Structure 1
Amino acid sequence: MRSTRYALIAGAAATALLTTACSGAGGSSGGGKSINVLMVGNPQMEDIAKLTKDTFTKDTGIKVNFTVLPENELRDKVTQDIATQAGQYDVATIGAYEVPIWTKNGWLHELGSYADKDASFDKADLLKPMVQSLSGSDGKLYALPFYGESSFLMYNKDVMKAKGITVPERPTWQQIADIAAKVDGAEPGMRGICLRGLAGWGELGAPLTSVVNTFGGTWFTKDWKAQVNSPAFKKATNFYVDLVRKHGEAGAPQAGFTECLNAMSQKKVAMWYDATSAAGSLEDPKSSKIAGHVGYAYAPTVETKSSGWLWAWAWAMPKTTKNADAASKFMLWASSKKYEKLVGDKLGWSRVPAGKRASTYEIPQYQKAAASFGDITLKSIEGADPANPGIQPRPTVGIQYVAIPEFQDLGTKVTQEISAAIAGRTSVDKALNDGQKLAENVAKNYR
């Protein structure tokens, strides 16, 4: 089924995208020696943009034109380009949410066969949760993982020590709220915790939904009854909003992953609940003031045994590309063991885009660099259960999202209202009551 969201995109954005396809960042040049790559502006992507010219391009002769965008902008841009089949990009970073939906629509090249033909790639080394999340209903691989992640709590060990606080390895959310209150103001200008407040299904929506799950809530019941204003969903959202308003980062309504990473690494917050992939940046002394002084704990819980999410930023190839051979060579290189070694040698082993290969966790240099977070990251990824992330059956898979096309629009609109509640412009009750109506309209398509 093609969602209303994608239908609107195809109709309204086609003209604009086809026009820009001929501009500077537009269509690929002939001969397969130049490809256009669209990717999210996370640290790991910024690293590959710096390393490609003197390594991959030098070895293959293939020039790579990168377009790097913030997460929300990336999601809109890549959806528009692929849904309208504008053909502006040969490779794009997408995630576990998009792969099964876009594969069903016939928008993506199958990539498993390329991986099978490259013995050095070692497809069997990829972690099973990553392969499963990036495969279509036919069992074929449609995206190659660049890095994988779950979620966990990161905290400033020096602050905790000074306050005489021991953070449990498996904390509850109430314990974290209590600790946030105690460490708020521990150092000049320091807040207790950073939690995303920036609207977006993949920004605020990701950590919030993992909190909703462990509080006993869900977006929809198994038989597609909307639950956005249910008691459990409200309790979780009120907890999240109250915690951010009382002890969260400055400018919380505009804080997403990048802003929280900066706040934590620059000692502006004492704790941060977010993606496990952030650890590599926090442990890099070139960019982080707390490298070597960060503690890690499993994602906080309430009613569930675990609550970490599961995600992979992965390389996908739109069906519209005219440079499949060159694009596949880039993707295989970018997800390879060889690339991980390059990052380790050139930039430092803590910055390796991990979470996708079993062998990564056996590399002595990486084990040393990731001693404080490697094991908990791997166990969080392996322990995530997209089919059963809460306390009740779900209509689809997905921990921090609902795996239907409409969720991209629904999640973003609901989190816009919740972000407004964080800013004090509306109440949580009103935000969720409005969100319930939107969710009910979506549910009608499936009942």
Structure 2
Amino acid sequence: MKFKSMLLGAVSLGVMTGLVHAETITIATVNNGDMIRMQGLTDDFTAKNPDIEVEWVTLEENVLRQRVTTDIATKGGQYDVMTIGTYEVPIWGKQGWLVSLNDLPESYDVDDLLPAIRGGLTVDGELYAAPFYGESSMVMYRTDLMEKAGLEMPEAPTWDFIAEAARAMTDKENEVYGICMRGKAGWGENVAFITAMSNSFGARWFDMDWKPQFDQQAWKDTLTFYLDLMKDAGPPGASSNGFNENLALFQTGKCGMWIDATVAASFVTNPEDSEVADKVGFALAPDKGLGKRSNWLWAWSLAIPAGTDNEAAAKKFVEWATSKEYLELVASNEGWANVPPGTRTSLYENPEYKKVPFAEMTLQSINSADPQHPTVDPVPYVGVQFVAIPEFQGLATVIGQQFSAALAGTITADQALRSAQQVATREMTKAGYIK
């Protein structure tokens, strides 16, 4: 009898010990195709780490940004791994809000990360996030519609050529629109796109004294050009269209051209998802001949909030999801074209990946973006399609609403820019930037 109770006690202890060691990590991520694919492959991680369970919280981009920002700023502790971008990492890293990843094992090969991408995730020599995919932006276009319009896309087009081609390709009766560009309000949606565009027009958010520049001609030229082109050649309801909405329009044959993230290339050329997969060409983001193209630099990355109770388990997940082995896992399941792009040098040296039609254009676009010198005239900030200061997120959210309202036709370009100038001046004065 005594032996039986000892045995039961040992079994109970074993069960309890098992329960103690089965950690659950909660991962907050964005509802983009590559992240959805990662969730589908989670079994590979849990098979290798049977003592870790994974819970996913998948959110639309604007909602994700809001939730993770609130959670980390209030030390809410809801998430063990957060999907954040190149904007948040340097600011949050400096605040001590993120766990350093400098102790990832040697097998991870941190030196293989693309320098431009790794640099944006490093603060004072500490890597604070691991890139899941890196991107710039480029032109994706319908080769058949370009040919029908009697035009040939240059590898490095100007905005004037894009405008001419967009108008020539538009056939509103058959619901084909010459160009799709982001119109949905959000600092990572329409503001990212229009800011990158404005760089090529010679505009900037602030001068060297942090004075807002929305009252300058370069901004008027940018916004007017964007609004006129979208009015003539864009789809209806464009003020509600962000990355995912435009992706769906392009995949269903409704866009002649789409200027957006290089990461979209695998989705528009995948015959399972895209009706135009065999008719897509690629070109660099447009310029205005001033020495800056309108391409951005971004990485959706995995970071661990400081104070998580599951730091070791979270690190294992981050290492798995951003490793060379993960890229090979995706390739073996879905082909090299569907591998998360823009993070590792070895990927672009891989002979199999070199065959992917958009690989070289993606790398060229990423390497040509310069967050240290994003504009034609000098600026006191870094960041290509954003300004890397804490105030930018709130400020750009309000300005994005103005730009979206102008696209919807409820206010004029002049009114949107006047409002942007007033809001930016007030906020930058309040924050002490403007003396």
TM-score scaled to structure 2, two decimals? Answer: 0.92
Structure 1 residue aligned with 2:216: 230
Q: 1:396·1:402 contact (CA, 8 Å) conserved in 2?
A: yes
Structure 1 residue aligned with 2:249: 263
Q: How many residues align?
A: 412
Q: Cα distance, 1:59 vs. partner?
A: 1.5
Structure 2 residue aligned with 1:374: 359
Q: Cα distance, 1:320 vs. partner?
A: 2.3
Structure 2 residue aligned with 1:74: 64
- Aligned pairs (5 A) from 1:174-213: 174-185=160-171, 188-213=174-199
Q: 1:97·1:403 contact (CA, 8 Å) conserved in 2?
A: yes
Structure 1 residue aligned with 2:130: 144
Q: Cα distance, 1:32 vs. partner?
A: 5.7
Kindly provide the amino acid, as one letter, of the partner of residue 248 in structure 1. Answer: G
Structure 2 residue aligned with 1:25: none
Q: Cα distance, 1:157 vs. partner?
A: 0.7
The CA distance in 1 between the partners of 2:122 and 2:271, in whole Å, is 36
Tell me: CA distance 1:425–1:326, structure 2 relative to 1, closer, same or farther (3 Å): same
Question: Residues 306-329 of structure 1: CA distance to partner in whole angstroms, max 9, x if unpaired?
Answer: 331110000000012100111000
The answer on 1:446 being equivalent to 2:409 is no
Question: Residues 355-386 of structure 1: CA distance to partner in whole angstroms, max 9, x if unpaired?
Answer: 01011112233222x2x211111011111111
Picking from 92, 98, 101, the partner of 1:108 is 98
Q: Cα distance, 1:30 vs. partner?
A: 5.7
Kindly provide the amino acid, as one letter, of the partner of residue 404 in structure 1. Answer: I
Question: Is the partner of 2:178 in helix, strand or coil?
Answer: coil
Question: Residues 268-288 of structure 1: CA distance to partner in whole angstroms, max 9, x if unpaired?
Answer: 111000111110111211111
Structure 2 residue aligned with 1:162: 148
Structure 2 residue aligned with 1:56: 45
Structure 2 residue aligned with 1:24: none
Q: Cα distance, 1:187 vs. partner?
A: 8.1
- Aligned pairs (5 A) from 1:252-291: 252-291=238-277
- Aligned pairs (5 A) from 1:12-411: 31=21, 33-52=23-42, 54-61=43-50, 62-113=52-103, 115=104, 118-136=105-123, 138-185=124-171, 188-302=174-288, 303-368=290-355, 370=356, 372-411=357-396
Q: Cα distance, 1:106 vs. partner?
A: 1.2
Structure 1 portions without partners, runs of 5+: 1-28
Q: 1:32·1:322 contact (CA, 8 Å) conserved in 2?
A: no
Aligned sequence identity (%): 47
Question: Is the partner of 2:177 in helix, strand or coil?
Answer: coil
Q: Which runs of 4+ in 1 moved over 6 A?
A: none
Structure 1 residue aligned with 2:3: none
Q: 1:86·1:320 contact (CA, 8 Å) conserved in 2?
A: no
Q: 1:226·1:439 contact (CA, 8 Å) conserved in 2?
A: yes
Q: 1:196·1:255 contact (CA, 8 Å) conserved in 2?
A: yes
Tell me: CA distance 1:156–1:209, structure 2 relative to 1, closer, same or farther (3 Å): same
The answer on 1:431 being equivalent to 2:431 is no
Question: Residues 207-230 of structure 1: CA distance to partner in whole angstroms, max 9, x if unpaired?
Answer: 100111111111101111111221
Q: 1:196·1:257 contact (CA, 8 Å) conserved in 2?
A: yes
TM-score scaled to structure 1, two decimals? Answer: 0.90
Q: Cα distance, 1:186 vs. partner?
A: 7.9
Kindly provide the amino acid, as one letter, of the partner of residue 427 in structure 1. Answer: T
Structure 2 portions without partners, runs of 5+: 1-18
Tell me: CA distance 1:31–1:394, structure 2 relative to 1, closer, same or farther (3 Å): farther
Question: Residues 95-119 of structure 1: CA distance to partner in whole angstroms, max 9, x if unpaired?
Answer: 1110111112111101122x2xx23
Q: 1:216·1:391 contact (CA, 8 Å) conserved in 2?
A: yes
Tell me: CA distance 1:211–1:119, structure 2 relative to 1, closer, same or farther (3 Å): same
The CA distance in 2 between the partners of 1:47 and 1:329, in whole Å, is 19
The CA distance in 1 between the partners of 2:268 and 2:401, in whole Å, is 28
Q: Cα distance, 1:242 vs. partner?
A: 1.5
Q: Give the superposed CA RMSD.
A: 1.3
Q: 2:25·2:55 contact (CA, 8 Å) conserved in 1?
A: yes
Kindly provide the amino acid, as one letter, of the partner of residue 326 in structure 2. Answer: Y
Structure 1 residue aligned with 2:9: none
Kindly provide the amino acid, as one letter, of the partner of residue 314 in structure 1. Answer: S
The CA distance in 2 between the partners of 1:290 and 1:275, in whole Å, is 18
Kindly provide the amino acid, as one letter, of the partner of residue 65 in structure 1. Answer: E
Q: Cα distance, 1:249 vs. partner?
A: 2.1
Which protein is bigger by CA-based radius of gyration? 2
Question: Is the partner of 2:276 in helix, strand or coil?
Answer: coil
Kindly provide the amino acid, as one letter, of the partner of residue 315 in structure 2. Answer: S
The CA distance in 1 between the partners of 2:313 and 2:89, in whole Å, is 21
Q: 1:159·1:186 contact (CA, 8 Å) conserved in 2?
A: no
